[in-house]
Structure 1
Amino acid sequence: MSEGPEAEDLFDSILMADERFRGDGYREGFERGANRGLQEGRRHGALHGAKLSAEVSFYSGFGHTWKCLLQNGTDPRSRKRVRALESLLSLLEQSPLDNPQSEKLKEDMDKIRARFRQVCSMLNVSADFKDFMKSSEGTSF
């Protein structure tokens, strides 16, 4: 067998095959992992976005309903409750809920939840959002 450039190229290609296959495998695995990560991220975001949307919609409906029920009351307690409900509704309107990238979103949701608990305490109703969701699961339209 001759020891010319062809033999060296063949020898180099055999030695470098492991490195080449490892590099190819890494790139292929990285691409698949990145695609799968994007898909899982989208699913995760959609799920949590839907939960947050249901929670905010509930607070809004809760606030508007109780405000309608109490707004004609003339006693000081009713007026105080209406002001608290208006404050909750104002927080909901001012929050950047349409921008999931907002840095204020978590802070605003914490404020909204705290105000909701305060209003529930004033109205003497359960403040656990999950309790309200459980009672509506059996409802169909």
Structure 2
Amino acid sequence: MEPVDIDKAFDSIVFAEQTELDQGYKEGHEAGCTEARAVGRGLGFQRAAQLASEVGFYGGFAQQALAQLAAADGASDAASQQLRRARPLLLGLTRLIERLPRHNSRDSDVSALLDTVRAKFRQVCAVLKVNPTAGEQKEISF
């Protein structure tokens, strides 16, 4: 039998509670990080889906308006004139949407660009005399 260092034996008894606390903290921290990652991933996916739906609506709106403008080429009614005035704004909106990053990037300021897209959409709606909140949904469900 090996000789036992009496100081180590007493230290292990005296510090038993602290050792258990440290081990519990470490295990709890690891479990919390794992759970937080899963919750964060779910929230990120949900928010990305909402933003993609919003930007997709803006892009579809611009494409539809540009298609109507192309179809009404040469017409002189009031609606066609409004579309012609909105054409540069619609093209600008389309360009802004194309500038949005398709993947996560720490270099791009997505929120500032998204605010610009929203402002451009409101500007297009003002020129076309369309209510920008008419088809807005408060909640997305799948």
Post-superposition shift, 1:20? 0.6
Structure 1 moving runs of 4+ over 6 Å: none
**Alpha-carbon separation, structure 2, partners of 1:12 and 1:90:** 69
Q: Aligned ranges for residues 1-141 of structure 1 at < 5 Å?
A: 5=4, 8-71=7-70, 72-74=72-74, 75=76, 76-96=81-101, 98-101=102-105, 102-128=107-133, 131-134=134-137
Q: Deviations over 1:78-115 (max 9, x none)?
A: 3211221111111111222x123343211110110000
User: In the alignment, residue 112 of structure 1 is paired with which amino acid?
Assistant: V
Q: Which amino acid aligns with 1:46?
A: F
d(CA) in 2 for partners of 1:47, 1:38: 14
Higher relative contact order (CA 8 A, sep 6+): 2
Q: In the TM superposition, what is the alpha-carbon distance from 1:24 to its structure 2 partner? A: 0.2
User: Normalization by structure 2: what TM-score?
Assistant: 0.80
Q: What's the TM-score, normalizing by structure 1? A: 0.80
- Alignment RMSD, CA only? 2.3
Gaps of 5+ in 2: none
Kindly tell me the number of residue pairs found equivalent between the two proteins: 130
Instruction: Please identify which structure carries the higher helix content.
Output: 1
Letter in 1 for 2:104: P
Distance 2:114 2:50 in 1: 13
Which 5+ residue runs of structure 1 have no aligned equivalent? none
Percent of aligned pairs with the same residue?
Answer: 30
1:62-89 alpha-carbon deviations (Å, 9 max, x no partner): 1111111123344553321122111111
Shift of 1:5: 4.9
Give me the whole-angstrom Cα distance separating, in 2, the residues matched to 1:12 and 1:21. 14
